[in-house]
Amino acid sequence: MKRIKLLIVFLFLFSAVITAQQKKYISYSVKKGETMKSIAKEYDLSTRDLLKLNPGISRKPDPNTVIIVPNKNYGKEVVEQVKTDDNLYLVKPKETLFGISKKFGVTIDDLIAKNPSLKEGLKVGMKLIIPKANVTKTTETLNYVIHTVVKDDTVYNLTKRYNVTVDQLLSLNPTLVEGLKLGMVLKIKPVTEIEETNNIEEEELDSNEAEIFYENLNLHKDINVVVMLPYQLNKLIDSTVISNFSKTNSLLNITTDFHLGVEMAIDSLVKKGVKIHVNYVDTENSSYKLKSIVNSIDFDKVDAVIGPLFFENAYWVAKHVSAPVIAPVYSKKQNTLSASNLIKSAPEEDLLEKKMLSYLEENYNGENIIVVNDGKTDSQSKLWRIVNILKSFDSIQNIAVIKPEKGYIASEKISQKLKNDSDNWVLLLSDEVLTTAATVNNLKVLDKEFKITLFALDKGENFDKVDNNFLGELNFVFPTTDFYDLDTKNTRGFYKSYKSKNNAIPSKYAIRGFDVAYDAIVRIASNKNLEDGLKAGKSTRISSTFDYNKKLFGSFENNGVFLIQYNKDLEAVILE
pLDDT digits (tens, 9 = 90+) for 208-242: 334 678 788 888 899 999 999 998 876 664 444 44
Give the whole-angstrom CA distance, residue 114 versus residue 83. 10
Give yes or no: residues 47 and 102 share one domain.
no
Single-letter code of the amino acid located at 242: I
Lowest mean pLDDT among 21-30, 274-283, 324-333, 444-453: 21-30
pLDDT, position 91? 81
Give yes or no: residues 146 and 259 share one domain.
no
pLDDT, position 133? 56
Give yes or no: residues 283 and 308 share one domain.
yes
Q: How confident is the model at residue 516 (pLDDT cuts 50, 70, 90)?
A: very high
Mean pLDDT in residue range 520-547: 92
Could you report the per-residue pLDDT of 174-211, keeping only the tens digit for each? 777 777 776 677 888 876 433 333 332 333 323 333 46
What CATH number does residue 134 fall under? 3.10.350.10
Could you report the per-residue pLDDT of 74-84, keeping only the tens digit for each? 655 433 333 44
Residue 479 predicted with pLDDT over 80: yes
Give the whole-angstrom CA distance, residue 159 versus residue 180. 13
Q: How confident is the model at residue 318 (pLDDT cuts 50, 70, 90)?
A: very high
pLDDT, position 300? 93
Q: How confident is the model at residue 438 (pLDDT cuts 50, 70, 90)?
A: confident
Domain boundary among 451, 480, 509: 480
Domain boundary among 74, 95, 114: 74
Give yes or no: residues 470 and 506 share one domain.
no
Could you report the per-residue pLDDT of 248-280, keeping only the tens digit for each? 458 888 898 999 999 999 999 998 899 999 999
Give yes or no: residues 226 and 343 share one domain.
yes
Give yes or no: residues 387 and 327 share one domain.
no
351 or 66, greater pLDDT: 351
DSSP string, 493-507: HHHHHHHHHHSSPPP
Give yes or no: residues 28 and 118 share one domain.
no
3-state secondary structure of 87: strand
Total count of domains within the chain: 4
pLDDT, position 98? 67
What CATH number does residue 384 fall under? 3.40.50.2300
Share of the chain above pLDDT 70, in %: 80
Query: From start to end of 161-318, where are the E strands?
Result: 185-190, 222-229, 275-282, 304-306
pLDDT, position 291? 92
Give yes or no: residues 475 and 500 share one domain.
no
**DSSP conformation class of 226:** E
Mean pLDDT in residue range 95-110: 72
Give the whole-angstrom CA distance, residue 280 versus residue 295. 16
pLDDT, position 198? 34
509 belongs to a structural domain: yes
Give yes or no: residues 459 and 517 share one domain.
no
Q: How confident is the model at residue 4 (pLDDT cuts 50, 70, 90)?
A: low
Which value, to the nearest 10 degrees, does the dihedral of the CA atoms of residues 472, 475, 479, 482 take?
30
Predicted TM-score of the model (pTM)? 0.63
CB distance 383 to 371 below 8 Å: yes
Q: How confident is the model at residue 435 (pLDDT cuts 50, 70, 90)?
A: confident
Share of the chain above pLDDT 90, in %: 23
Single-letter code of the amino acid located at 45: L
Give yes or no: residues 476 and 508 share one domain.
no
Please give the angle made by the CA atoms of 204, 210 and 213, to the nearest 5 degrees.
85
565 belongs to a structural domain: no
CB distance 519 to 546 below 8 Å: yes
353 belongs to a structural domain: no
Give the whole-angstrom CA distance, residue 511 versus residue 333. 23
b/e burial code for range 370-406 (CB count within 10 A of at least 16 → b):
bbbbbbeeebeeebeebbeebeeeeebeebbbbbbee
CB distance 543 to 485 below 8 Å: no
413 belongs to a structural domain: yes
Which value, to the nearest 10 degrees, does the dihedral of the CA atoms of residues 457, 458, 461, 465 take?
80
Could you report the per-residue pLDDT of 354-378, keeping only the tens digit for each? 998 888 888 888 888 888 888 888 8
Give the whole-angstrom CA distance, residue 387 versus residue 413. 19
Domain boundary among 74, 105, 133: 74
Query: Which range marks the domain in which residue 120 is found?
Result: 87-209
CB distance 311 to 334 below 8 Å: yes
